[in-house]
Amino acid sequence: MGRHILKREQAITFVKETFATKLKQALNLIPVSSPIVVLDGTGINDDLNGIERPVSFPIKSLQDQRAVVVHSLAKWKRIRLKELELEPEEGILTDMRALRPDEDYSPIHSIYVDQWDWEKSILSGNRNLAYLKETVEKIYQVIFDTEQAVNVQYPHIEPILPETIHFISAEELLQKYPNSTGKERENAIAKEYGAVFIYGIGGSLTNGEPHDGRAADYDDWSTGNEQGYHGLNGDILVWNPILNTAFELSSMGIRVDKKALLTQLEIRNSLDRQKLTFHQMLLNDLLPESIGGGIGQSRICMFMLKLEHIGQVQVSIWDQLKKTELLDKGVELL
């Protein structure tokens, strides 16, 4: 049992090193250190859908000022771009670790989150759908090439990804499957194309509902795009035949400018947040225009190694009964 797990750990390391190396080259990213905690009340932590509770604690040496364990580094990275004085088309890559205690357990969800968080400075003229698609295609090429490299290293793991990724707006997807839920629509389109980027996630569609939730203050989901829809953000999904479902590998997008920030805060009835540190920096032209996202490390490893549970590629806390049930099925968690 132990040697079997050790071999899997070596395969996980191979996948992570291969992917990270190729991603740095594809997007011109510089690896940087990143925090596990940030101060509360600054607006820097990722609020996800706005309802998830972060892990928080008082800091004795700061008169019990509270800190929160990050959910992700969506906003911190943009501040870091400014601090490092990076030029347009230069970016950063972090090896992020986060805790999301309100996450519901599933074969693809854990309270422990590990992802490649990346951010790149861009020119204001590149705040458009064409630039977003170009960036997605570069990331997808890295995903595709990593799967090919895994096949060379481990010939018994056969590649399944298509050579290209399909693009569709969340509104077009709704019109294509008007009687389906958001997740059902994702399953249908991912199964049809094998790999898809759904863009325009966060704002309400013509059915009055968003495709999925997004925070108001990092991805731009409200600006009109060249296709006549709204949104300069989205998700990279692939079809996972092991789990028989659409499988999200990355959430990403062009970040809000001042106009989009105020629009989205107003839509979410959160205009009071403009007083926070991060938001003030953006509203006072102290932050660069940027594009960025997170790519799940455990998700990438699951997909590349054709495994069925996230606990097979990361160490986290699991319900003991569930661990026993999985072990009885031959699924051995780390």
Task: Pick the closest to residue 315 from 69, 21, 5 (CA basis).
Answer: 5
Task: Confirm whether 251 is a catalytic residue.
Answer: yes
Task: Pick the closest to residue 216 from 48, 53, 102, 71 (CA basis).
Answer: 48
Task: Confirm whether 100 is a catalytic residue.
Answer: yes
Task: Confirm whether 319 is a catalytic residue.
Answer: no
Task: Confirm whether 163 is a catalytic residue.
Answer: no
Instruction: Give the active site residue among 115, 264, 298, 312.
Output: 115
Task: Confirm whether 46 is a catalytic residue.
Answer: yes
What's the token pair of residue 291?
A: 């594009």
What's the token pair of residue 12?
A: 């996980």
Instruction: Give the active site residue among 117, 248, 257, 289.
Output: 248
Residue 24's Cβ-side half-sphere holds a number of Cα atoms within 13 Å equal to 12
Instruction: Give the active site residue among 34, 46, 78, 297.
Output: 46
Instruction: Give the active site residue among 100, 127, 185, 214.
Output: 100
Instruction: Give the active site residue among 117, 235, 257, 289.
Output: 235
How far is 253 from 134, CA to CA, in rounded Å?
12
Which residue, chain included where needed, has tokens 């969506």? 74
Residue 144's Cβ-side half-sphere holds a number of Cα atoms within 13 Å equal to 15
C-alpha distances out from residue 224 to 203, 231, 234, Å: 11, 6, 14
Instruction: Give the active site residue among 110, 251, 264, 290.
Output: 251
Active-site positions?
A: 46, 100, 115, 235, 248, 251
